[in-house]
């Protein structure tokens, strides 16, 4: 997925994802290292979207599961990774995101315009 104005965010996420994989290889078989990739969860951070009927409808329409996640959804994923059920799982990125492959709503951002040459006013 490529989104405008998300370069730093994307680079940070990619680095954490690769770090998870690399640490898993370094610490196995003694320690398992996995990550949970979280989608839009009904917490205070998403309150501005969930308390606005128009924004919430857009969010839910663009989320395949049709609802925001809950803290319990994330806790269940963490419980799985901490349990014997995942004893042979390491270096994995567990997506708990309602099926989203991109942000569930568009965020308006100013686009950066590159100029052809230094000093070009236009």
pLDDT reported for residue 113:
65
Other CB atoms within 10 A of residue 59 CB = 22
Burial class (CB in 10 A: 0-12, 13-18, 19+), 34: buried
Output DSSP code: residue 41. Answer: B
From the list 4, 9, 28, 71, the catalytic residue is 9
From first to last of the 122 residues of the chain, give the pLDDT tens digit. Answer: 566 677 898 899 999 999 999 999 999 999 999 999 999 999 999 999 999 999 999 999 999 999 999 999 999 999 999 999 999 999 999 999 999 987 666 665 566 666 656 565 55
CA–CA dist 27, 71 (Å, integer): 29
80 is catalytic: no
Give CATH superfamily name and number for 7-96.
Answer: NAD(P)-binding Rossmann-like Domain (3.40.50.720)
| CA dist 73 → 42, 68, 98 (Å) | 10, 10, 10
pLDDT reported for residue 42:
96
């Amino acid at each position: 997925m490529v989104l405008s104005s998300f370069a730093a965010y994307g680079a940070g996420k990619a680095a954490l994802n690769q770090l998870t994989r690399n640490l898993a290889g370094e610490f196995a078989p003694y320690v398992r290292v996995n990550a949970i990739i979280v989608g839009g969860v009904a917490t205070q951070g998403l309150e501005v979207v969930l308390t606005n009927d128009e924004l919430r409808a857009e969010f839910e329409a663009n989320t395949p599961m049709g609802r925001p996640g809950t803290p319990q959804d994330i806790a269940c994923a963490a419980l799985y990774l901490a349990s014997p059920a995942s004893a042979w799982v390491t270096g994995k990125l567990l997506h708990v995101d309602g099926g989203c492959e991109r942000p569930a709503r568009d965020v308006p951002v100013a686009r950066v315009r590159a100029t052809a040459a230094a000093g070009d006013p236009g």
